[in-house]
A and B are shown apart, each in its own frame.
Chain A
C-alpha cells in the first residue's frame, strides 16, 4: 500500500481525461505495455493471447510473458504484453505500463504501481474473489482481510480509471466466463487497432459455441468505456462494498448435557481452539467459552449427543 501512495502523490493528472488519444505503436517511440492481472481460472492468459495475436497479425514485434505456475485455480496470475516496432525486454518495468487490465479487483489494486503515473489507464472488473487466507480467523463475524478500497479511492491515484462490473454484465449477456472478453472490448478503446481485427482474433480463440456471446460482450465493453468517457450514464459500474457480517451479530451457544456425556474425550481432543476440557467427573466442560468459534466439530463428533450448539442473537444475549 505504501508504494501505491507514493505513486498517487507523484501524479498530478486529473482523474478523468477528456480528450483521448489512442495508443498507436506506429507513432510511439517506446513499446506499448499492457499488463493483465487476475486470478487463476478467470482468463488472464486468454486476454493476453488475443492481444499478442493481433499485434502479430498487424506486423508488430510482440513479447508476452506470464506467470501462472503457482496459481492453480484461485491463485495469482499476471501477464505482460509488450509490442511496438522493436521490443527487447519481455517484462514491463514498474511505472511503465500503459494499460492495466485487472480481472479481479484486489489484483488490480496490487499492480497499480506498474502503471505510468501520468498517463496509465486502469481498467478493472469489480469482481472480488476473496482468497481463503483472507479469512483465517475462525471466530464468527471476524474481519475479512480483503482490500476495502473503492473505485473512488483509485481514481485519485491514476490518470484514468474504469471500474466495470464485467462479470455481472457478462452473466447477464449469457456467459459469466465471457467477462474477460468484455474487458478486451474495454481495452480495444485504448489502442489504435481496427475492430475487425479484434473480432477476427476473438472469434478464433474462444470455443465455437461461445463466439456469439463473446462478440456481444466485446461490443458492450467498448460501448461502456466510450459512454463513460463522455460522462454518459452506464450500467454495471456500481461498486457494492463487500458484505461482512457485523462482528458478533450472530454467535453460537454451546451447551453440554452432563448426564449424557460418557467422557470419551473426543470433543476435547478434536476442538481446534482447545476450549473444552474433561472435569474431575470425566465430563466435558466448556472451559474457555470466549475461544469457541461455533465450528460444530465437537457437536458433530460427540457419539453421545451430549453437546449442542445453537445460534443466539446478540439481542437475546443483551
Chain B
C-alpha cells in the first residue's frame, strides 16, 4: 500500500478549496436529524472537521473515521466515509493498527474527554509518542454526557455533576500539554464559536505528517449547562471566548489547575519529529534489501 498523498499547507489552500463547501455532500443524510441534544457543540465541531476535509480535498473513500464511545463516539456515524465506532477509550489503538496496515488512508480519530483522557489516556500518550500520522480530534465537553453527566478528567473545579453533587474537587488535565509532553508533533486547541479558525487548525493538522492532536472546546448544553446554570445554548457559545485566551503557547504562564478555562487557543505545537510509519517502512526496506543480498 502506498502512503497517502501529501496534503496542502495553510498557504497552498486556495479560497476555492475553502469555499464551495456543501456539508451535505459529506453526511449520511438518511440518519438525520442526528441524535445529539439541542445546542450540542459536537455538531459545530463536526462541521469544522468536514470543512477541513473538504478544504484539503480528501477523498471520502480514502477517509477513515475512528471513534470511541460516548457522545463524541457517535459523531463519526454521520460522516459519509469509512467509519469505525470502536470500544470505549480505544479508538487511537484501533487507528494505529489501521494506519500501519493501510498507510494510504487518512485516519482521523474523533474522541472525547472521557474517552481520550480517562479510559484511553494511555493510548493518547503512546500515540503521541509514536507520532504516527493520525489526526486526533478530542471533543472536550467537560463531562460524560451520554451516561447522564458524570465528572470527567476535564470538569472544572466546583462544577456540579451527578457524581460530584457537592461540586468537583479533582484537578483537571490540560490535554494539549499532555499531548505535547508525550511528543505529539502538532497540537492545537480552539473553541467551536471560532469555526473558521477551528477549521484551519484541523486542516493544518490533517496535512501534518505525524500525530496531530486538536482539542475542541465544545458545549454540553443539556447536561453540563443545565446542571451548572451556564445559561442557554447561545449564552454558552458566547461564553466560550470569555473563558479562553487566544494566544500562542506561553510556557511561562502559571498553571491554574483550578481555573482550567483560562486556557490558550491556537496552534500550540508544530514540531519536526520523524513520523513512525515512514520510519517503520524504511526499516522494512532495509531488512528486505539485506535479505536479498543474503540470498544472492
Query: A interface vs B, CB < 8 Å?
Result: 259-266, 268-270, 300-306, 308
Contact = CB atoms under 8 A, between A and B. Distances in A.
A270 B32 contact: no
Interface string B32-73: 111011111111100100000000000000000000000000
A261 B32 CA distance: 10
Contacts of A263: 38
Contact of B33 (A269, A270, A301, A304): A304
B237 A270 contact: yes
13 contacts: A260-B32, A262-B33, A262-B39, A264-B39, A264-B234, A265-B39, A265-B232, A266-B237, A270-B238, A301-B237, A303-B36, A303-B38, A308-B23
Contacts of A259: 32-33
A299 to B, nearest CB: 9
Contact of A264 (B193, B195, B221): B221
A301 B38 contact: no
Contacts of B237: 266, 270, 301
B244 interface: no
Contacts of B34: 304-305
Contacts of B221: 264
A180 to B, nearest CB: 27
Contacts of A270: 234, 237-238
B233 interface: yes
A265 B39 CA distance: 8
Nearest to B33: A260
Question: Which of A261, A303, A306 gathers the greatest number of chain B CB atoms within 10 Å?
Answer: A303
Question: Which of B36, B38, B235 gathers the greatest number of chain A CB atoms within 10 Å?
Answer: B38
Contacts of B32: 259-260, 305
B195 A308 contact: no
A284 to B, nearest CB: 11
B293 interface: no
A303 B41 contact: yes
Question: Which of A259, A263, A266, A270 gathers the greatest number of chain B CB atoms within 10 Å?
Answer: A266
B27 interface: yes
B119 to A, nearest CB: 25
Given A262-B37, A266-B39, A305 B23 contact: yes
A304 B35 CA distance: 9
Contacts of A305: 23-24, 27, 32, 34, 43, 47
Given A260-B33, A270-B234, A270-B237, A302 B38 contact: no
Contacts of A269: 232, 234-235, 238
A268 B234 CA distance: 9
Contact of B234 (A260, A262, A266, A306): A266
A300 B33 contact: no
B234 A303 contact: no
B113 to A, nearest CB: 18
A6 B237 CA distance: 54
Contacts of B42: 303
A304 B237 CA distance: 14
B78 to A, nearest CB: 9
A265 B24 CA distance: 22
Contact of A300 (B44, B233, B235, B238): B44
A257 to B, nearest CB: 8
A12 B235 CA distance: 64
B233 to A, nearest CB: 4
Nearest to B32: A260
Nearest to B78: A305
A234 B238 CA distance: 55
A261 B33 CA distance: 8
A265 B195 contact: no
A301 B23 contact: no
B47 A300 contact: yes
A100 B75 CA distance: 62
A300 B196 CA distance: 9
B167 to A, nearest CB: 27
A260 to B, nearest CB: 4
Given A303-B40, A304-B34, A308-B23, A264 B47 contact: no
Contacts of B232: 265, 269
Contacts of A302: 43-44
A174 B226 CA distance: 60
A75 B71 CA distance: 48
Contact of B38 (A262, A268, A300, A308): A262
A260 B47 CA distance: 15
Contacts of B234: 264-266, 268-270
A301 B193 contact: yes
A263 B232 CA distance: 11
Nearest to B237: A266
Interface in B1-29: 22-24, 27
Given A262-B37, A263-B38, A270-B237, A303 B24 contact: no
Interface in B175-200: 192-193, 195-196
Question: Which of A261, A269, A308 gathers the greatest number of chain B CB atoms within 10 Å?
Answer: A269
Nearest to A282: B38
B169 to A, nearest CB: 31
Contacts of B195: 300-301
Given A301-B192, A303-B41, A304-B36, 15 more contacts: A260-B33, A262-B37, A264-B38, A266-B39, A268-B234, A269-B235, A270-B238, A300-B47, A301-B193, A301-B195, A303-B36, A303-B40, A305-B24, A305-B32, A305-B47
A72 to B, nearest CB: 19
Contacts of A300: 44, 47, 195-196
